[in-house]
A and B are shown apart, each in its own frame.
Chain A
Amino acid sequence: MRKIVFTALLVLLFAAQAIAADTIKIGFNIPLTGDIPKVGEASKFAAEMLKEDINGAGGLDVGGTKYMLDFIYEDNESKAESAVNVALKLIERDQVVAIVGPNSSKQAVPAGGTCDDNQTPMVTPWSTNPDTTLDRPWVFRAAFLDPFQGPVVANFAEKTFGAKTAAVIYDVSNDYSKGLAEIFQQVWEGKKGAGSVVAFESHGTKDQDFSAQLSTIVAAKPDFIFVPDNYNQVALIIKQARQLGYKGPFMGSDAWGSAELMTLCGDDCAGQYFSTHYAAAGATGKTKEFIDRYSAKYGYTPDDVAALTWDATRLVLQAIQEAGKVESDVRKERKAIREAMSKIQKFEGITGTMSFDEQGDPIKCAVVVKISPKGEFEFTESVCPQ
């Protein structure tokens, strides 16, 4: 009896190895807990949907051979140091051929360094800070950059609100928020002269009370307040600003665009504008198809992170296919993927068409959306790089 069990186990073990030989392992470095869990969830859901598509069709076709996909999701807890650990874990323990994520620049900047040092291709779906890919040949992204997003926001606010002065409140310990706030200040003061950003206030990631900063802002009487912050803080900031008597408009950035924004923020956010990667309401073609399938499967409209993760993962898969064959040595395979990825000139994603510059940054359009009273993100205008 024992012998039979033993043999069966051995057979299983070999069988498992045989299957493993035909799989491609891709790692996901995403925030499933911590400050922005909804971002991690959206990434995971989108990736799962893509994996089911491809594995359901028998696997990914690389040079005539079909390979099954194996996605490994690791939680970086929305922390910079955990993102580095997760990256190392995926590279060394799981031996993945490429990593998708981290999403927020706060994690993507340090994790990008780790991936670059370990010569593993990394594609961040959502990070907009330039430092993530700067001088890092192994790191790519699927989102536009803050130096592009900053002017988009400034131009839009100038035109729509007729604003002359602006105030900014940002998270000082978040690379994304801090970087974008500084770029915005530069752009705005370049347009309207020094001192036209009448208040430039910061807060910490764990802060819940912003009354001190917001009192300063309200007292400076800005025409609008720019809030490049994560959706969970946006909900608190807007509510408290209203309680301090501020009646003017707010302008947000792409970190607002979570499916959870309206659940947390409610009516306070309705009517505000933010710049983002795509608008779900009124989408057409492949984008609409993705949105419909995602909503049917998971019960809510996918946010930009979901769409960008889909694009980022497809980018990796396309690079694998264009490399022509899958190397059995992980190091060689990683190198082949990087080579193929750097050669991709044009990519049709569901968040728009992108072409890549020499830093691995896509050149693509941004959209500004308005939050409708029903909580839908409605397309207002599209801004493309000149």
Chain B
Amino acid sequence: MLQGFLQYVINSLQWGSFYALIAVGYTLVYGVLLLINFAHGDIFMVGAYIAFFVSSMLIAELSGFASGWMLVAMAVPLTMLLTACVGVTLERVAYRPLRKKGAHRLYVVITALMCGLILENGNLALLGASRKKFPEMVDTVVLNIGGASITNLKLMVIFAAIGVFLFLHWIVTKTKLGMAMRAVSFDKFAVPLMGIPLNTVIVFTFILGSGFAGLAGMLFAMSYPILEPYMGALIGWKAFIAAVVGGIGDIRGAFIGGFLLAFIEIGVASVLPSSFRDLFAFSILLVILWMKPTGLFGIAKTTKI
């Protein structure tokens, strides 16, 4: 019984880490721009594909010289950087022109939805419908803790999520840039008057959000090594819902929401038939939103982030 519970906690922590890492991207962009970046799930998908190409290249070039973990250590920053470029490109091409023209937020959200579909179908057209298999970079070691199994990969995913949370918390609360982000979130129109470069702050937000989507993509591809163009759609939606339940705009909220969703989902799937998984998971979240419409950590209409 106890070992079953321990296994459940480990499974949920790993699955929740992916939700949390993606939810952070929604929350950051929403916090600064009040924009729901619906393309974010697909940026995660692009991140996984970038990780695939980066890793394949590194393995082909360096497999003789470097160990698996060294390759991972090289692939992670490269993937994060390239995925961040994709996020920033989207901002440049799709969102900034609309912002400059003073378009209503609704149109920007619709543009984001379109961008997501473009990424999915662009991938389908460019790379074809066949799935890609992510190369195995490190040997999986199965560890046994009190009867529950955990792999080195799962541990890495969980630690990465915790690390990202601490890092972001530090950025937002302790650095000048974080202060600028909070300022933009507070009043977008007054901020440029104070000499804060608005666009730089926004670009930086996209770099952070997309970078961590890239990290999530890489870790996801290592854990579930089969890539397909639509892999980001469903998990993106769910991470968005997790962010809303946690209180969108709040980094703690994104993480708590992500883990909460994973605990409910995996819990439901382990007791009930899996067809009830999403039904129950989202019904529970709905109940939470009834009681607290702004999400667990959300505060209505004040500074977000």
Residues of A within 8 A of B (CB): 32-34, 37-38, 41, 172-173, 201-204, 206-209, 211-213, 215-216, 218-219, 232, 235-236, 239, 242-245, 260, 263-264, 266
Contacts and interface: CB of A to CB of B under 8 A. Distances in A.
Given A245-B149, A260-B130, A206 B234 contact: yes
A206 B224 CA distance: 13
Given A208-B231, A243-B142, A264-B226, A213 B270 contact: yes
B4 interface: yes
A216 B7 CA distance: 10
Given A173-B275, A232-B228, A264-B226, 18 more contacts: A37-B130, A37-B131, A38-B130, A172-B275, A206-B234, A209-B11, A211-B11, A212-B8, A215-B270, A216-B270, A219-B7, A235-B226, A236-B225, A243-B151, A243-B153, A244-B142, A245-B149, A260-B130
Contacts of A232: 131, 226, 228
Contacts of B11: 209, 211-212, 215
A171 to B, nearest CB: 9
Interface string B93-137: 000000000000000000000000000000010001111010010
A218 B8 CA distance: 12
Given A203-B274, A204-B275, A260 B131 contact: yes
A219 B14 CA distance: 19
B15 interface: yes
Nearest to B128: A37
Nearest to B136: A266
Interface size class of B (residues with CB under 8 A): 35 or more
Q: Which 9 A-B pairs have the closest CB atoms?
A: A37-B129, A212-B269, A245-B149, A211-B11, A33-B129, A212-B270, A212-B266, A208-B224, A202-B274
A32 B31 CA distance: 41
Contacts of B7: 215, 219, 244
Given A202-B273, A202-B275, A263 B151 contact: no
Contacts of A212: 8, 11, 265-267, 269-270, 274
Contacts of B304: none
B124 A33 contact: yes
Interface in B259-294: 265-267, 269-270, 273-275, 277-278
A346 B217 CA distance: 53
A263 B275 CA distance: 29
Given A204-B275, A219-B4, A213 B142 contact: no
Interface in B65-92: none
Nearest to B227: A264
A36 to B, nearest CB: 9
- Most chain B CB within 10 A, of A209, A236, A260, A263, is at A209
